[in-house]
Structure 1
Amino acid sequence: AANKLLVVGAFCIGTTQIDLHYCQKKGVVVFNAPYSNTRSVVELAVGQIIMLMRNIFPRSVEIHNGQWNKTAENSREVRGKNLGIVGYGNIGKQLSVLAEAMGMRVYYYDLEDRLALGNAKKCNTLEDLLNVSDVVSLHIDDSISNHNFIGERELAQMRDGAYFINLSRGFVVDIPALEKALKNGKLAGAAIDVYPDEPRRNGPFSTPLQGIPNVILTPHIGGSTEEAQMNIADFVPNKIMDYINSGNTVDALNFPNIRLPKQNNAHRFLHIHRNLPGVMAHINEVLAQYEMNISGQYLSTNKELGYVITDLDKDYNKDVIRALKKVEHTIKFRVLY
């Protein structure tokens, strides 16, 4: 319905709420904030690892209930323990660095071929990682293929008495299977920040994991810090304005990525089209027909879309614009300056 819409900004990492393919089809660029809250999530994961392994929350509940229970039972240092990171992207890698700095041995598993940081060791299969880890921390994306990525089978492959952390997406874990593993003692504890069904607003909430000892439950606040909100509020609008003012699409989720300097004494045309043979030739035929001198031209494509930026050092008239808009398979055309 919004035929003049140029760009959409998601002030978060996940974009399942946006139809990326349809936006691309309509020539609408989509940006998100893939790095802005990384540190916040990582720091929470580090804190949860320590709290779980020291059994802090059960001791805290006891004190709140007026009971003194000073004991070292089930309280362990994180130093020398094995941390398994599932998903070695921006968050997983930074967690890897901090965990190693605390003396943990880090193992990771990712479907893509990721370069290890520090002394982290890559596991070839998820089972290998689950078998070796004292703590498993989940940091995978919101792809629908990750539904119930961790289920009864995977939990059974974990070490007896291990700990489980999920700060990624709620639907990637089979909650009944996790509940069972916690209640029968297979796992010594868990920290869960995301859930398969989350309320749209603050208020009542229930989960089968409530009331289980040594389980930390938080309301999807992994990336919710004042610093992260400020970073997001800076990053996304800057990406939007950079695209509007210069045509740059670096970090766009659904567009070919192009970064260009702003030109002086030149005009810039932005042409978005279906990626089919002959479109580029047709664009240049129009420019030649109107004797437009090209000082710079940049084309990038993906499977379905072509995005070309043309800088011209000669004044133009409206006939050129009309002709370029009529080029077959054009999705959007814009004169930048």
Structure 2
Amino acid sequence: MALSNRPKILVTSTNYSIYCGEAKQLLESNGCEIIENMRGRPLTFEELSAVVPDISGVVAGVDTWNEEVFKLAPQLKAIGRFGVGVDNIDLDKAREYGIQVTNVPGGNANAVAEFAVGLILSALRNIPNLYQSARRAYWDRHVGEELQGKRIGLLGFGNISRRLARKLQGFDVDIIAFDKYPNEAAAKELNVTLASFEEVLSTSDIVSMHLPALPETYHIMGDKQFGMMKRGSYFINTARGTVVDEAALRKALTDGPLGGAAIDVYEHEPVGADNPLLTTDRIVTTPHTAAETIETYRLVGLTTARAILDVLAGRTPNNLL
């Protein structure tokens, strides 16, 4: 059933027309007008301010959605987070302003888990630097490390972490995991040993971060925590940048125990050229792209589109937060 008055839907996640054609067509066939983010990055407050006054729904990337923005958007009824994490959305204020927020739990889990495997291998074998070396016709045959026989420590044992554990089984590794609310059945099925936060840090050869961004996890990895890690160990982060004190990570790479690191997320995004981590040795850096796959875009695009249409039609959407 088509909606009246052509509600305007702002899409701040990038590449929407390219990879979310079905979702865009679904919204348009229900009478919606799509306003896309063509900047290839999260929108600033000033950029949001220029377009939010007459929008009814948002397919939100990682832009900041708070009361300051909500005050400017009197018609806004629905925010469909294009992903899982909603730390960029003030849920309490959204409720106050009558805005229903949804996300897509598990929608990008496989993509992120696969990318985490890629970061682990890239860090162990220095693959990005070897690629750049070969492109310059250098013959830098770096001696790296094998994944086989390593202990992998997972901080967080949710959907992404469990998928990562399953994918790592074929590498003949030992896997341990910390979670505040551990899923013992899943751990048993995946042959994962549940452990304390401290044990994961102090006994793992590779620590992979999968904790959500919450007030209690802010900078949960600092000088003390990195100092507990084994000499020559590796740190991987595909979760959220705020869980890591970036200065402490850099110190752990330059003067501390870390043999290397690979990160896809940063405390401030998009990451600035002046971020010291970008020029630190022994770290692989990627631009928050772990979830960027064709399959994820299609699934998440359709799920968020349906949720927004449900809200605008007075129905209860799936994954309402």
3-state DSSP of counterpart to 1:84: strand
Q: Shift in Å at residue 217 of structure 1?
A: 0.7
Q: Is the 2:133–2:139 Cα contact (8 Å) retained in structure 1?
A: yes
Q: Shift in Å at residue 250 of structure 1?
A: 4.0
- Give the alignment partner of residue 151 of structure 2, picking from 68, 78, 82: 82
Q: Distance in 2 between matches of 1:175 and 1:4?
A: 39
Q: Is the 2:119–2:262 Cα contact (8 Å) retained in structure 1?
A: yes
The answer on 1:133 being equivalent to 2:204 is yes
- Give the alignment partner of residue 119 of structure 1, picking from 184, 187, 191: 191
Match of 2:215 in 1: 144
Counting only pairs closer than 5 Å after superposition, residues 259-298 of structure 1 correspond to structure 2 as none
Q: Shift in Å at residue 16 of structure 1?
A: 2.8
Q: Is the 1:199–1:205 Cα contact (8 Å) retained in structure 2?
A: no
Q: Shift in Å at residue 243 of structure 1?
A: 5.2
3-state DSSP of counterpart to 2:201: helix
Q: Shift in Å at residue 78 of structure 1?
A: 1.1
The answer on 1:107 being equivalent to 2:176 is yes
Q: Shift in Å at residue 185 of structure 1?
A: 5.4
Match of 2:244 in 1: 173
Q: Shift in Å at residue 181 of structure 1?
A: 1.2
- Give the alignment partner of residue 218 of structure 1, picking from 267, 286, 304: 286
Q: Which has the higher helix share?
A: 2
- Paired residue type of 1:118: L
Q: Shift in Å at residue 218 of structure 1?
A: 0.8
Q: Shift in Å at residue 56 of structure 1?
A: 2.3
Q: Is the 1:57–1:214 Cα contact (8 Å) retained in structure 2?
A: no
The answer on 1:96 being equivalent to 2:165 is yes
Q: Shift in Å at residue 244 of structure 1?
A: 5.4
Q: Shift in Å at residue 6 of structure 1?
A: 4.2
Structure 2 residues without counterparts, runs of 5 or longer: 1-70
Query: Structure 1 pair 103/246, CA: closer, same or farther in 2 (3 Å)?
Result: farther
Query: Structure 1 pair 59/5, CA: closer, same or farther in 2 (3 Å)?
Result: closer
Match of 1:45 in 2: 116
- Give the alignment partner of residue 196 of structure 1, picking from 267, 271, 285: 267
Q: Distance in 2 between matches of 1:156 and 1:252?
A: 40
Q: Distance in 1 between matches of 2:300 and 2:280?
A: 35
Counting only pairs closer than 5 Å after superposition, residues 6-21 of structure 1 correspond to structure 2 as 6-21=77-92
The answer on 1:63 being equivalent to 2:63 is no
Query: Identity of aligned pairs, percent?
Result: 32
Query: Structure 1 pair 208/240, CA: closer, same or farther in 2 (3 Å)?
Result: same
Structure 1 residues without counterparts, runs of 5 or longer: 254-337
Match of 2:315 in 1: 247
Query: Structure 1 pair 244/61, CA: closer, same or farther in 2 (3 Å)?
Result: closer
TM-score normalised by L of structure 2? 0.70
Match of 1:312 in 2: none
- Give the alignment partner of residue 306 of structure 2, picking from 235, 238, 245: 238
Query: Structure 1 pair 213/243, CA: closer, same or farther in 2 (3 Å)?
Result: same
Query: Structure 1 pair 249/70, CA: closer, same or farther in 2 (3 Å)?
Result: closer
The count of corresponding residues between Structure 1 and Structure 2 is: 247
The answer on 1:208 being equivalent to 2:276 is yes
Q: Is the 1:15–1:32 Cα contact (8 Å) retained in structure 2?
A: yes
Query: Structure 1 pair 3/173, CA: closer, same or farther in 2 (3 Å)?
Result: closer
The answer on 1:154 being equivalent to 2:225 is yes
Q: Shift in Å at residue 96 of structure 1?
A: 1.1
Q: Is the 2:102–2:318 Cα contact (8 Å) retained in structure 1?
A: no
Q: Is the 1:164–1:190 Cα contact (8 Å) retained in structure 2?
A: yes
Superposition RMSD on alpha carbons, in Å? 2.3
Larger Rg: 1
Match of 2:60 in 1: none
